[in-house]
Amino acid sequence: MNMDVLVSLSKRRGFVFQSSEIYGGTGSCWDYGPLGVELKNNIKRVWWRDFVQARADMVGIDASILMHPTVWKASGHLDHFTDPMVDCRECRRRFRADHVDAVAWTHYCPATKGNKFTIPAGEPCGHCGQRRTLCPECGKGELTAPRQFNLMFKTFMGPVEEDAAMTYLRPETAQAMFVNFDNVLQSMRLKLPFGIAQAGRSFRNEITPGNFIFRTREFEQMEIEFFVNPNDRVEGRPADEYWHDRWIEDCMAWFKRYGLREENLRLREHERDELAHYAKRTVDIEYNFPIGWSELMGIANRTDFDLKQHAKWSGKSLTYFDEERKEHVVPFVVEPAAGVDRALLAFMADAYREEEVRGEKRVVLRLHPELAPLKVAVLPLLKKRDDIVRAAHEIRATLARQWRVVYDDTAAIGRLYRRQDEVGTPYCVTVDVQTIGDAERGERGDGRATIRERDSMEQIRVPIPELPAVFRELLDGGAWQQVAGRYPPARG
């Protein structure tokens, strides 16, 4: 699957647009369109439902993006949240030093009278055998020595732009859970182990953003900080290690449950030398994106680093009183941290299929019904017949009280189906002459509408009053085959 295909589908069908496109676009910033916002909200909604609402050991918060600047000193972001950066002295382009050999490079080959070649990433020139030393983009400029570049966006709080008023846009949502640890603990009377979750925007001034919505400077995260008592043991193991593995399993199962195929998912253990300054162990869930295997989310054991740091810098105690042992402990933290935009990219890439149906190509997004931006499309078969059109509008209005449902009569039925397949709408409802009848000919309608299922393209006839109950069953996870077995198939 090619990223360009997804970018083009996203634009054409209202999932994702280039930000400020009419002004030439803003680098690495993207806007979610009418279908993109639905898909994104659905991802966040099921994540929240499954990991917060459904669990007795989880609560949520929604914190401010701007935080006290000392938060970032205590967390280590001011000192450590840096990437090594190099500049081309010729064309002034900027690269992450550790990514510079991961891109194809331009080479003016001395063995071929200086002919220009584009050589695959990391490979030497096939003519002269040279490896890249100059700028990979222009092929001419020397690169500067690496300099550390802090990825946090700076801004000023209040009307005076002076150092004392400087603050940062949060580069992760996590710190709000640590600084609110005691507020949440006291207000909710929680017992360890418990987690605090948050979904929201984060900002990183990435040196080399790119690959569509994979790496951007403004993105959304869904993060959980799961606090455990380090003195506890679960199934004979230290509680933090046990819970770390549990969260890895649960997160992996979650992505599979909503449609990512097993063969496109894998775990990657961080090497000792790549662990973040706070982590005892980190495991990434990687997805086989159109750009290759890359991080979808990370699950880290952050130990007691953050709570201890914030206690030290704020002077406030951030401990938990262990009733059994009659002692105060600083909890350890297991952190499942996912990116909403990356999850959306993975769900779209995995769902995208090109199929052949009766000699014609059909593009279909086999999105999980809970994620699909539109749940049902209501399509009248004869738009010249007022009674058919009226019935279709009524069905849409009834279903739309519970789900995102659209009406469309702007093309022939075959084309309307293809349009809905391409955006992943799991069900279409059609209203036809058989439904309403034909008064002029004295024919009575059967009062049934046709439901067509996206993946199998099977069609059944369902009495109109039963549609809400049927969709409640289907959209709550009921199997199509079971529902279809109860109704007659549609003709034709």
Return d(Cα 130, Cα 111) in angstroms, integer: 10
If one asks whether residue 174 binds ligand GAP (CB under 6 A), the answer comes out as yes
Please say whether the dihedral angle defined by the alpha carbons of residues 126, 130, 136 and 137, taken in this order, is positive or negative: negative
| Residues 201 and 318 sit within 8 Å (Cβ to Cβ) | no
Tokens 């699909």, residue? 372
Q: Among 338, 376, 391, 405, which residue interacts with ligand GAP (rule: CB under 6 A)? A: 338
Interacting span for ligand GAP (CB under 6 A) from 236-244, 289-297, 369-377, 388-396: 289-297
Interacting span for ligand GAP (CB under 6 A) from 133-141, 183-191, 214-222, 366-374: 214-222
The Cβ of residue 305 has, within 10 Å, a number of other Cβ atoms equal to 20
If one asks whether residue 290 binds ligand GAP (CB under 6 A), the answer comes out as no
| Residues 384 and 293 sit within 8 Å (Cβ to Cβ) | no
Shortest distance, CB of residue 61 to ligand GAP, whole angstroms? 14
If one asks whether residue 298 binds ligand GAP (CB under 6 A), the answer comes out as yes
If one asks whether residue 206 binds ligand GAP (CB under 6 A), the answer comes out as yes
Q: Among 18, 216, 288, 309, which residue interacts with ligand GAP (rule: CB under 6 A)? A: 216
| Residues 89 and 144 sit within 8 Å (Cβ to Cβ) | yes
Does residue 190 sit in helix, strand or coil? coil
If one asks whether residue 342 binds ligand GAP (CB under 6 A), the answer comes out as yes
Return d(Cα 311, Cα 309) in angstroms, integer: 5
Return d(Cα 299, Cα 336) in angstroms, integer: 4
383's tokens: 């738009």
235's tokens: 């199934």
Interacting span for ligand GAP (CB under 6 A) from 65-73, 136-144, 336-344, 446-454: 336-344
| Residues 350 and 364 sit within 8 Å (Cβ to Cβ) | no
Shortest distance, CB of residue 467 to ligand GAP, whole angstroms? 38
Among positions 385-404, residues that touch ligand GAP (CB under 6 A) are none
Q: Among 77, 215, 368, 448, which residue interacts with ligand GAP (rule: CB under 6 A)? A: 215
Task: Report the residue number whose CB is nearest to ligand GAP.
Answer: 339
Q: Among 38, 83, 137, 172, which residue interacts with ligand GAP (rule: CB under 6 A)? A: 172
Tokens 């999850």, residue? 343
If one asks whether residue 245 binds ligand GAP (CB under 6 A), the answer comes out as no
Interacting span for ligand GAP (CB under 6 A) from 119-127, 332-340, 400-408, 461-469: 332-340
Q: Among 337, 392, 423, 467, which residue interacts with ligand GAP (rule: CB under 6 A)? A: 337
Q: Among 71, 251, 297, 464, which residue interacts with ligand GAP (rule: CB under 6 A)? A: 297
Cα-Cα end-to-end distance for the chain: 34
Return d(Cα 228, Cα 383) in angstroms, integer: 61
Contact residues toward ligand GAP (CB under 6 A) are 172, 174, 204, 206, 215-216, 219, 221, 223, 295-298, 335, 337-339, 341-342
